[in-house]
């Protein structure tokens, strides 16, 4: 089934924003294996050892290094490419950084999405758009409940709130410019995908738990853990990407049925605390220790967050393949590879996941 959805992109033109980021680089790899013609649009990678740079020798698609806030450039690149599909991943993706640059976070995430959708509205051809937001778009009550797509949107920190704003932008464009009852006139369909706490090889971002773990273990230092008891919907990066790809194809075939938001996350009984993730990662690495570095004065981050994935299971026939423990093992195994073998290992993990 997974391979079938991947092969659905063979020969299709796919535009990806944020392709130089962690998830975007993995998505580029998936689509190139699928035989798609890919064009990426993003800022230059933030880290020299980024996954995008690592996979660069294997890339066959086009790459435009530019800002999602550059409205004229973005429109030019989209119209010249004439994509069949758009996957919008470009974002300021870090909670703690959003406290440092709140206005820029809203500008990139909400206004950047509006720029993208306005550019797509200028296309005369059929196009299906998947806008990636986050699990943190919900008004988090810090209760042991599974958030559903119909639940109230909100966001305590600037990042979460900016992504909730992004969902409102998507809804506004869907209602104002791409109404389903007039699909045959505009031929545009938009869905949003809500996933978060994604782990996998090639992530070196600051203030993310896996890169923090790896840097500490590589230097034989204890892992500092800010929120050991926080519960998150951990999943390997290929899990939500497979969901985005499935959603894109369903959206293309039946826009009236799938132009809506979808959650992608682990099974209901497979949510781990940060402490459990760290201890499992250390066990997989083979050695290491950790420290509780929680600080009451640190910026607020959600303590409990779980997603209800029943809509994706029922309507998209999507279900996670890897348990949280397996996702951690896949991730740590990636970082154990020699640097000159990590690109090949990335492609092999994609093949293994999709059964190629």
Question: What are 143-185's pLDDT values in tens digits?
Answer: 778 999 999 999 889 999 999 999 999 999 999 999 999 999 9
What is the helix (H) or strand (E) element at residue 198, kind and residue range? strand 198-199
Helices 22-34 and 238-253 meet at what angle, rounded to 10?
Answer: 60
Q: Summarize the confidence of residues 228-234 as an average pLDDT.
A: 86
Residue 66 has pLDDT above 90, yes or no: yes
Q: What is the pLDDT of residue 68?
A: 98
pLDDT confidence tier of residue 298, bands split at 50, 70 and 90? low
Radius of gyration of the chain (CA): 19
Owner of token pair 């800002």: 67
CB-based contact 353:2 (threshold 8 Å): yes
CATH number of 2-354: 3.40.50.720
CB-based contact 289:282 (threshold 8 Å): yes
Q: Summarize the confidence of residues 263-270 as an average pLDDT.
A: 93
Q: Summarize the confidence of residues 241-266 as an average pLDDT.
A: 97
Residue-range domain boundaries for the chain: 2-354
β-sheet bridge partners, residue 140: none
Owner of token pair 């790899």: 29
CB-based contact 334:200 (threshold 8 Å): yes
Q: Which two tokens stand for residue 129?
A: 């758009």
CA pair distance 22, 91, nearest whole angstrom: 11
Q: What is the pLDDT of residue 15?
A: 98
């Amino acid at each position: 089934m997974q391979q079938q959805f991947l092969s659905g992109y063979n020969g299709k033109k796919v535009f990806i924003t944020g392709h130089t980021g962690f998830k975007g680089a993995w998505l580029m790899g998936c689509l190139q294996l699928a035989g798609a013609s890919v064009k990426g649009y993003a800022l230059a990678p933030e880290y020299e050892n980024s996954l995008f740079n690592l996979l660069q020798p294997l890339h066959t698609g086009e790459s435009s290094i530019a800002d999602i806030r550059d409205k004229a450039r973005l429109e030019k690149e989209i119209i010249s490419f004439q994509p069949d599909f758009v996957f919008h991943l470009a974002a300021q993706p870090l909670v703690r950084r959003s406290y440092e640059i709140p206005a820029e976070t809203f500008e990139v995430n909400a206004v950047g999405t509006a720029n993208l959708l306005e550019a797509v509205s200028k296309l005369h051809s059929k196009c299906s758009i998947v806008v990636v937001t986050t699990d943190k778009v919900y008004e988090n009550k810090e209760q042991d409940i599974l958030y559903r797509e119909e639940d109230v949107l909100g966001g305590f920190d600037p990042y979460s709130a900016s992504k909730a704003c992004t969902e409102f932008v998507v809804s506004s464009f869907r209602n104002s410019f791409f109404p389903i009852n007039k699909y045959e006139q505009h031929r545009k369909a938009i869905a949003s995908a809500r996933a978060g706490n994604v782990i996998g090889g090639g992530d070196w971002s600051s203030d993310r738990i896996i890169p923090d773990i790896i840097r500490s273990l590589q230097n034989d230092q204890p892992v500092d853990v800010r929120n050991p008891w926080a519960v998150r919907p951990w999943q390997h990066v290929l899990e939500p990407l497979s969901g985005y790809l499935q959603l894109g194809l369903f959206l293309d075939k039946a826009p009236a049925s799938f132009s809506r938001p979808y959650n992608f996350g682990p099974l209901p009984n497979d949510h781990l605390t940060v402490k459990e993730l760290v201890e499992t990662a250390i066990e997989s690495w083979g050695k290491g220790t950790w420290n509780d570095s929680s600080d009451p004065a640190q910026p607020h981050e959600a303590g409990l967050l779980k997603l209800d994935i029943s809509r994706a299971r029922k309507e998209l026939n999507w279900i996670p393949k890897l348990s949280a423990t397996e996702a951690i093992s896949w991730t740590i195994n990636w970082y154990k590879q020699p640097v000159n073998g990590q690109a090949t290992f990335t492609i092999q993990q994609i093949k293994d996941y999709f059964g190629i």
